[in-house]
Structure 1
Amino acid sequence: MTPTAPSPGLPARIVRSVPGRLVIFFVSAALIGLVVGRVYAGLGLPHGDIPFNEVTPLIEALRLLPIVLAYVLLVRSIESRRLTELAPRKAVPHLLLGLAGGLAAVSLVTGALGAMGAYVVDGVNHDVHWLGPILVLGVGAGVGEEIVSRGVIFRLVEEGLGTWAALLVSAIVFGGGHLWNPNATAWSALAIALEAGLFFGLLFHVTRSLWVCMGAHAAWNVAQGPLYGIPVSGFDQHGLLASHLQGPVWLTGGAFGVEASVVTLALGSTLTAACLAVAVSRRSLVPPFWRRRHVDHG
């Protein structure tokens, strides 16, 4: 007779619970951030709102370090598993797939707006600063926001409350997080929640790869700003193409940029529907824990 493994005690169950792991991640990120902040100050690096053009690889690496270390700690020490969603062997192919998809998506939106006369190219800028914007909009947003929104919030909420709740919660958090951006409105936050929050959540669900999400997120931002010269989430950009948006705000997104455009919302909704169709065909949508228990005992 095989001996039964002892069940974990109450403290262990609390630590490994979904709420416990959420708290552990954010607390550990904050504590690591305090240490990294001391290192940052000791190196004499600039504080406050740094212009994109002045951000260096070291600055962006120190910004991301608390999030990355807290996630590795959560997965390896608390969950005691491999980082399959960030497996090294998947890095290159999945990043390239995401980068290509993100570039294609923003190019479709820009092309559609151009065809409608809402996106106008005025010329070419030859003094574009690429490094800083790519670090902030591509690496910073792609890595940091995807780990928090999809790797932590979506994944853990899905584990407890199911896929539908995870999509709702992660999309609300993701959209709400953009409310403090320049030129943000309630509509722009809602648009980002619907077109990007839901899509990236389902993209992670069907691929189980943060690499794909990071690549798509990074390419979307970099193509908008440094390439097409469109404001990215409210931040004005000096891109390779000197351009401007014209027409009604509902079409162009106004000062916030095309992420608040109905054209982007339509494309994002289409991509979301495609990912949902894949999930439904695979029967991979996760029910909430109480329905899983009912099935297990039914």
Structure 2
Amino acid sequence: MSVQPTEATPPSPTPSLPLRLLRSPLGRIVGFFITMIALRFIAGRVYHGLGLPRSDLSFDQVTPLIEALRLAPVVLAYWLLVRTIENRRVDELAARKAVPHLLLGIAGGAVVFSLVVGSLWALGAYVVDSVNRDVHWLGPILVMGVGAGVGEEIISRGVIFRIVEEGLGTWAALLLSAAVFGGLHIWNPNATAWSALAIALEAGLLFGLLYHVTRSLWVCMGAHAAWNVAQGPFYGIPVSGFEQRGLLASHMQGPDWLTGGAFGAEASVVALGLCSVATAACLAIAVRRGSLLAPSWRRKRVAVA
């Protein structure tokens, strides 16, 4: 019986050098930030064209339109990065995951920060003076909840952690993204070297591992937003150095290492300790799954072997 010859599949063309550089981990990170800056310029022109206030606004003055214009460049730049350069679906922000993953993150963030406050209260450091019944909720939730949750998580976890993990592995991605996240908070009011380090260790590592085990930005966004909203608009504690007028009129008493000082409870050893427990739990899940990635060159050597 004769065998009919089969036609060989032609090899796929090798991408050009500029395209290979753009698709490299460093190229994608640089490309994202260049795109975001360009889109921010366009959003700024739209902002001024609409006659929106140009001076620095307090949290209470921020409207949904203002916050949308602030977030649009980050969200659109990330969508363009994933869809055009990486040429894939944005699975980490899939619409079907939005509601359940957001709710999971919101519940987790609110519970963890409530444990921080409960511990400080039990130690006599957190004192409630009265209840503010005329709190303005919308602006603070937009800025500290939606704005910080969406914008900071896309940049820190969606771009820096995710892409660095592909190239340098999980451990390097955790350390680098946490360092960047903590460093960005050094410019906040009342910030110190300790507060930046505390933010890096308690939030940078925790949210990085939370993304690693869930592969969902929705969970990270929900947890980040709930942490901030519980801290400021509800418990009345400064959020990363920014003074707040919350539902509970409160004050701290005790040494700065316990209360966090003027920066807020995020610089407290209590917050650092409790978040470290949550971080260890996420790490245990990753180790049990065997999902921690080695650097790309080590993975290639194993694949060849």
CA distance in 1, matches of 2:300, 2:248: 55
Moved more, 149-158 or 44-53: 44-53
Partner of 2:224: 217
| 1:48 Cα deviation after fit | 3.5
| 1:2 Cα deviation after fit | 2.6
Is residue 61 of structure 2 the alignment partner of residue 54 of structure 1? yes
1:267 alignment partner, one of 243, 265, 274: 274
| 1:294 Cα deviation after fit | 1.3
| 1:79 Cα deviation after fit | 0.5
| 1:22 Cα deviation after fit | 0.7
What whole-Å deviation, never above 9, does each CA across 1:253-277 have from its counterpart, x for those lacking one?
Answer: 0000000000000011111111000
Is residue 30 of structure 2 the alignment partner of residue 26 of structure 1? no
Q: Runs (4+) of structure 1 moved beyond 4 Å?
A: none
Partner of 1:166: 173
Partner of 1:91: 98
| 1:47 Cα deviation after fit | 2.0
Partner of 2:246: 239
Is residue 190 of structure 2 the alignment partner of residue 183 of structure 1? yes
Q: Which one-letter code corresponds to 2:46 in the other structure? A: V
Partner of 1:226: 233
| 1:49 Cα deviation after fit | 2.1
Is residue 20 of structure 2 the alignment partner of residue 17 of structure 1? no
| Count of matched residue positions in the alignment of Structure 1 and Structure 2 | 298
2:132 alignment partner, one of 125, 146, 150: 125
Identical positions, percent: 73
Structure 1 residue runs without a partner (length 5+): none
| 1:297 Cα deviation after fit | 1.6
Q: Which one-letter code corresponds to 2:270 in the other structure? A: V
Partner of 2:290: 283
Instruction: Give 1 or 2 for the bigger CA radius of gyration.
Output: 2
Structure 1 length-normalised TM: 0.99
Partner of 2:71: 64
Structure 2 residue runs without a partner (length 5+): 1-7
Is residue 105 of structure 2 the alignment partner of residue 110 of structure 1? no
CA distance in 2, matches of 1:48, 1:199: 35
What secondary structure does 2:83 align onto? Answer: helix
Is residue 288 of structure 2 the alignment partner of residue 294 of structure 1? no
Q: Which one-letter code corresponds to 2:227 in the other structure? A: W
CA distance in 1, matches of 2:163, 2:269: 31
Moved more, 15-24 or 210-219: 15-24
What secondary structure does 2:257 align onto? Answer: helix
| 1:13 Cα deviation after fit | 0.5
| 1:3 Cα deviation after fit | 2.4
What secondary structure does 2:66 align onto? Answer: helix
